[in-house]
Structure 1
Amino acid sequence: MKKIDCIIRPEVLEEVKRELNKHNIHGMTVSQVFGCGLQKGKKEIYRGNELEISLLPKVKIEIVTDDEYVEEIVDCIVSVARTGNIGDGKIFIFEALDVIRIRTGERGKRAI
């Protein structure tokens, strides 16, 4: 099993969810986060003063899946979230040692 953490622009979240749903991928956790990378923030004018905003709003999607679906999920996310500009986001893939469904006690693939 793998855990996929994906950091994307907030404006593409709904489209990413639609694309994942088309491929019968429904289980996910979504969080609003702030971060910076190569984009290094942005400058804005507020009441005549220039402010540098170093942490930008992003969305984090977490999905735990069977190994065989990892590339399909990554392809879905990239196909929608890629604009070609700095700040499109990142995808991290980790080993998930086990999953336990609290309600039933099921473990592993059956718990996903």
Structure 2
Amino acid sequence: MPRNIAYLRVSNLDQDLEKNKAYILHLANEKNLGKVEFMQEKVSGKVSWRQRKIAQVLEDMKKGDVILLSEFSRLAQSMLECMKIISITMKKGISIYTVKGNWMILFRVKSWR
């Protein structure tokens, strides 16, 4: 059964995780994704994604799993790092949904005739 992992990263404790959780749960419900597991951490975006929990999340995820985000900036500080993560998810068959911007990067199996 596919897993739906919501990744929440804040750089300081003043940021409102509960509001982000509510938005993500609303998105998951809207897309009929089912149960959502939350992975959260407090760490600066300046710390490489490879040294944060998102690296382990990506390692553990399998084809058909979904990552939910409040926005792409929660993944990484730079566009280059975001693109690297997206590349990994596409290779592994993992879809990404974001609340802000309503982004959907979906893995789809192509059938060739």
TM-score when scaled to structure 2? Answer: 0.34
Specify which structure has the higher proportion of helix: 2
TM-score when scaled to structure 1? Answer: 0.34
Specify which structure has the higher proportion of strand: 1
